Amino acid sequence: MSEYTGYKGRSLEFLKTNKILIGDSVKILADIIYSGIIMPRYEHSDNKHIVLKLKNGYNIGLEISKIEKIEKNEIPKKIVEKIEKNEIPKKIVEKIEKNEKLPNILLLSTGGTIASKIDYRTGAVTPILTAEELNSSVPELAKIANIDTKALFAEYSENIMPNHWLKIAETVNEHLNSDYAGIIIAHGTDTIHYTSSYLSFSLEGFPIPIALVGSQRSSDRASSDAALNLIGAIKFLTECKTNGIYIAMHKDENDETIACHIGTRVRKNHTSKRGAFQTVGNDPAFLIVNNEIHKNMKDDFFTMNEYNPKIKINEKVALVKYYPGYDPIMLKNIINEEYKAIIFEGTGLGHIGKNMYPMVKMANEKGIFMGMTSQCIDGRVRMTVYESGRDLLNLGIIPLENMIPEIALIKAMWASGNTENREEIKEIMLKRIASEFST
């Protein structure tokens, strides 16, 4: 990281004039006296402010024109000597001895804030790569399980693509016959349910429970949910004797309850709340309330099959969200690009406008699988109620019960990765494999 990352113009000149670098501990006199650490800035930020991390972990921006005085806090000589000798990390991150009485857990890191640490000198967020670092960040974990860590990659969740899903699934499959009681996958929250869905289908029946865990608030914030989500997930894996793929996150804004959602029935329904994730159409499968595990869903909602890994995918699948005014030419482009499947996110019981019918007919004639889901959060597709739905059935669109649209997309990618035959894709899409639709 540069000594002045993100600073330019007036703000850069201000720091240079006062001989202040990113990571320096400073005292600033403005409207009041502020103490904290100078942080890097986003590269497209303005040149009028500097960013200060306060002792409570929050960052604030200070307008340089209102700063009367800034001075660097001197670091004690003994601390400087330890930093120069690289002794600080050795004291902070101590070696953990394995406790033979505790279960073993594997943590796979893919990125996101959940398995990251903050360097308070530079402000950089970096992945936690070792069990020692993890224990240093969340010391409570050492009392619950022995944790091995492996960093697969470090990506924001919006950058995790199908090739990443394959890597995760292959890595998990390598530990089929291990002595791990469970596997944690640390993941950014925005696309975590896409990953959990792919793993649910490709690792159908995997005998070791898997929990994907994210964090809505970064670990440098007082309101962070990172540690509690991680602790709750590991308690769940070590104490609840069940298999399956789950997402473990705060149930609501309080810290008492962590919810474990079935990986194919969950969505992120809020941009920033800690309780952003909800099981669609039902309650979370399990709740961890004050460290106690509570089964929260009826047995008939769980799908338990023999382990039958099929780690394949075909990305030539489209999710088409219908809206009034949707141009059928866009659907024609998908057809011409030789996509293998199209999932429609239709209105109500599963409808799209009649202006789409000619393109739907073309897709059907080209042997493309077409499935219908609904834009409604709850309820299921019923295409026999209205004439328009029956017309679409006759044009080859298959109703997909109450599958969540993006989950249907992932399932179609996985199905078409395992077979190119449309009838076989249809059979797979209508088979309840990983609790992706309710009975």
The C-alpha angle 60, 63, 68, rounded to 5 degrees, equals 110
For residue 5, indicate whether it is catalytic: no
Per the CB < 8 A criterion, the answer to whether 265 and 421 are in contact is no
Angle CA(315)–CA(318)–CA(324) in degrees, nearest 5?
Answer: 165
Residues present in the chain in total: 439
113 is catalytic: yes
Angstrom distance (rounded) from CA 176 to CA 307: 10
Sign of the C-alpha dihedral, residues 276, 282, 285, 290?
Answer: positive
Q: Which of 428, 412, 410 is nearest to 169 (CA)?
A: 410
Torsion angle of C-alpha atoms 349, 355, 356, 362, degrees rounded to 10: 140
Of 53, 117, 251, 268, the catalytic one is 268
Q: What is the dihedral of CA 115, 120, 123, 128, to 10 degrees?
A: -20
Residue 95 has what DSSP assignment?
Answer: P
Distances (CA, A) of 20 to 13, 17, 25, 243: 10, 8, 9, 53
Take residue 293 and report the two structure tokens written for it: 């595990």
> Which residue is associated with the tokens 């943590």?
107
In three-state secondary structure terms, 389 is helix
DSSP string, 33-79: EEEEEEE---TT--SSEEEEEETTS-EEEEEGGG--EEEEPPPPHHH
Catalytic residue among 190, 255, 283, 391: 190
Which residue is catalytic, options 110, 113, 195, 264? 113
Cα(118)–Cα(133) distance, rounded to whole angstroms? 11
Q: Give the DSSP H/E element, type plus range, for residue 142.
A: none
φ, ψ of residue 311 in degrees (nearest 5): -90, 75
Hey, which residues are catalytic here?
113, 189-190, 268
